[in-house]
């Protein structure tokens, strides 16, 4: 689960819930300065960050001490190691200082060894999951500001490669029919990253000519290993989508839906409040708050939208995600949650009316619909209709959720009810037409689209549906080419050469 990219004081949590590479990447993006502490009963590690750069690390693990590391690679003898440990215990000085004072290493060797130790501590930290973390933002002490040149890109690459959840990796990577290319010089990339032969083979196919599906068949390794490499390269910014690659029609439909969802959430998140943005109610447990936040974070994390060309959309996603993170930080802290709850409007002592109960369930359903939790959204919309069946929008949104679940017969009934209650709403009529299409009733679908366009000549859903119902090249709206031209102009699509 990604941690986010906005500045936050005292960022903390469990490494069971957040991935350390995401935390470091988030701190890198915000150019933060401070100390990231990782600890449980036996492990105490610190990673020092200055302006987003990894500059130093320390650990209480004996096997990660500088002297032990030097002994392992043969840079010091067993006697020198014992002498270092003995003096460190007597004086209280750390082993790095003792090694330097004893003159066992030249200044150049000492700096090189210290850098290797720091990288080793950070790399080993990616394996730690049963621990908590906390970032304390603020200036570093002089002892914590040793200006080591740490290859953060290489560390993050190997950190991301430790993800072993194939379903997660598939969700985080672009669709299989997308062609990928490297966003930097391959020779420079290989020089900056320590890569295996398998990694380099996968790298050779990232030439803008192969889709992910093709790379999976050519890589001569498991799908897990291929996805791990692609996922790691994506997260360090080494991969970009091939310019001019044409997504499938299904991909375009998903993008349109995604844009609508982002717009809807951006327009309503402040009205929803902390509980609403997470899709929960007052009184839920801390565990339920955490699970709700993970759902929203997975849906609206800014890193998922790296390929979007619109800065405006990216800003909206950042606002949504920042507010959701703010909600989680407040509601997961007992004192802050009490303070927030006390600021909410006082509820009436009398039981809520049926209309109020209907509206509450409808609002919860809309939040879940935006998160693509269609099953629970459909249930909440059905409950809203039970308490108040006279509101057309309740039936309309119920129909949308049912359509997403491919329950088209039920969707047709509820869309019909919405149209009866508000026959002048073009969106309701157009969605009914699309359900008729899915049921195979092209004549009914065409009539619905025509009616929707009479109500609103620019209705997007009706314009999308009309070409699918044509039995000949002509219709009352003009030739199919003209209709497709109107759609292409509206969505900025280019004709395939």
Radius of gyration of the CA atoms of the chain, in A? 28
Contact 399, 368 (CB under 8 A): no
Q: What is the pLDDT of residue 494?
A: 45
Q: Cα–Cα distances in Å, from 474 out to 452, 477, 481?
A: 19, 8, 9
Q: What is the pLDDT of residue 241?
A: 63
Which has the closest alpha carbon to 6: 39, 37, 41, 31? 31
Query: What CATH class has 156-246?
Result: mainly alpha
Question: Which two three-digit tokens encode residue 275?
Answer: 């509980």
Which has the closest alpha carbon to 391: 361, 371, 369, 368? 361
**Is 25 strand, coil or helix?**
helix
Which has the closest alpha carbon to 463: 422, 435, 409, 427? 427
State pTM to two decimals.
0.47
CA-to-CA distance for 331 and 291, rounded, in angstroms?
12
Cα 153 versus chain centre, distance: 20
Contact 129, 16 (CB under 8 A): yes
Q: What is the pLDDT of residue 341?
A: 87
Which has the closest alpha carbon to 301: 315, 316, 317, 323? 317
Helix (H) or strand (E) holding 417: helix 408-421
- Angular region, 66: left φ>0, alpha ψ -120 to 50, beta rest: alpha
Q: Which fold has domain 247-343?
A: Helix Hairpins (1.10.287)
Q: What is the pLDDT of residue 246?
A: 36
Helix (H) or strand (E) holding 293: helix 286-300
Q: Please count the other Cβ atoms lying within 10 Å of the Cβ belonging to residue 170.
A: 15
Q: What is the DSSP letter of 306?
A: T
Contact 315, 263 (CB under 8 A): no
Q: What is the pLDDT of residue 480?
A: 46
CA-to-CA distance for 27 and 15, rounded, in angstroms?
15
Distance spanning both ends of the chain, measured CA to CA: 41
pLDDT by residue, tens only, the chain of 497 residues: 343 333 444 577 888 777 788 888 878 777 778 889 999 888 899 988 888 888 888 888 888 888 887 887 788 888 888 888 888 888 887 777 788 788 887 777 777 778 888 888 888 888 888 888 888 888 876 555 556 778 888 888 888 888 888 887 887 787 787 788 887 676 677 677 888 889 989 988 888 888 888 999 898 899 999 999 998 888 887 886 654 443 333 333 335 556 777 777 888 777 888 888 887 777 777 777 877 787 777 677 776 665 566 677 778 888 888 888 888 888 888 888 888 888 887 654 556 677 878 888 888 888 778 777 788 888 889 888 988 889 999 999 999 999 988 889 999 999 999 999 999 999 999 999 999 988 888 889 999 999 999 988 888 888 988 888 875 334 334 444 554 555 455 444 444 44
Question: Which two three-digit tokens encode residue 301?
Answer: 């994390």
**Where exactly are the structural domains of the chain?**
11-150, 156-246, 247-343
Question: Which two three-digit tokens encode residue 415?
Answer: 């869309």
Q: What is the pLDDT of residue 304?
A: 63
Q: What is the pLDDT of residue 394?
A: 93
Q: Which residues of 221-260 are buried (b: 16+ CB within 10 A; e: fewer)?
A: beeebbbbbbbbbbbbebbbbbeeeeeeeeeeeeeeebee
Q: What is the pLDDT of residue 399?
A: 93
Contact 37, 134 (CB under 8 A): yes
Q: What is the pLDDT of residue 147?
A: 61
CA dihedral 346, 351, 356, 360 (to 10 degrees): 70
**Is 135 strand, coil or helix?**
strand
Q: Tell me the HSE value of 310 on the side-chain side, using a 13 A CA sphere.
A: 11
**What ranges in 45-177 are assigned the alpha helix state H?**
66-72, 78-91, 95-102, 107-125, 152-160, 166-172
């Amino acid at each position: 689960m990604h941690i986010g990219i906005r500045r936050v004081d005292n960022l903390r949590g469990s490494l069971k819930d957040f991935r350390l590479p995401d935390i470091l990447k988030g701190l890198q993006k915000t150019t933060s300065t401070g100390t990231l502490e990782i600890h449980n009963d036996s492990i105490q590690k610190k990673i020092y960050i200055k302006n987003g750069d990894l500059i130093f690390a320390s650990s209480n693990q004996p096997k990660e001490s500088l002297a032990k590391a030097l002994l392992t690679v043969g840079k010091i003898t067993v006697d020198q190691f014992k002498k270092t440990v003995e003096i460190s215990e007597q004086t209280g000085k750390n082993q790095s200082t003792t090694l330097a004072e004893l003159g066992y290493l030249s200044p150049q060797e000492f700096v090189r060894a210290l850098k290797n130790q720091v990288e080793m501590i950070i790399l080993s930290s990616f394996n730690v999951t049963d621990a908590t973390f906390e970032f304390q933002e603020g200036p570093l002490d002089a002892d914590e500001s040793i200006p080591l040149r740490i290859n953060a890109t290489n560390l993050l690459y190997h950190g991301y490669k430790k993800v072993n959840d194939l379903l997660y990796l598939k969700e985080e990577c672009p669709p299989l029919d997308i062609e990928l290319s490297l966003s930097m010089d391959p020779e420079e990339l290989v020089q900056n990253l320590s890569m295996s032969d398998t990694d380099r083979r996968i790298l050779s196919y990232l030439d803008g000519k192969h889709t992910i599906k093709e790379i999976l068949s050519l890589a001569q390794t498991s799908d897990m290993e291929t996805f791990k490499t692609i996922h790691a390269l994506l997260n360090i910014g080494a991969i970009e989508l091939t310019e001019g690659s044409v997504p499938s029609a299904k991909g375009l439909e998903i993008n349109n839906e995604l844009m609508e969802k982002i717009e809807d959430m951006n327009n309503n998140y402040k009205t929803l409040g902390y509980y609403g943005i997470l899709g929960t109610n007052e009184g839920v447990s801390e565990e339920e708050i955490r699970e709700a936040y993970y759902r929203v974070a997975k849906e609206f994390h800014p890193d998922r939208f790296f390929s979007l060309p619109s800065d405006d959309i990216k800003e909206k996603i950042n606002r949504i995600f920042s507010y959701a993170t703010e909600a989680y930080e407040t509601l997961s802290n007992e004192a802050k949650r009490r303070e927030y709850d006390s600021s909410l409007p006082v509820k009436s002592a009398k039981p809520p009316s049926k209309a109020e109960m209907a509206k509450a369930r409808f609002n919860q359903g809309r939040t879940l619909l935006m998160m693509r939790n269609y099953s629970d959204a459909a249930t909440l919309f059905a409950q809203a209709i039970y308490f108040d069946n006279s509101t057309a929008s309740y039936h309309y949104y119920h129909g949308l959720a049912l359509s997403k679940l491919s329950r088209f017969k039920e969707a047709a009934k509820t869309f019909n009810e919405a149209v009866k209650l508000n026959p002048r709403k073009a969106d309701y009529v157009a969605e009914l037409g699309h359900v008729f299409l899915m049921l195979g009733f092209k004549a009914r679908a065409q009539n619905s689209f025509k009616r929707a366009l009479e109500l609103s000549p620019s209705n997007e859903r009706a314009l999308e549906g009309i070409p699918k119902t044509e039995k000949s090249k002509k219709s009352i709206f003009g030739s199919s080419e003209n209709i497709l031209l109107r759609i292409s102009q509206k969505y900025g699509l280019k004709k395939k050469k």
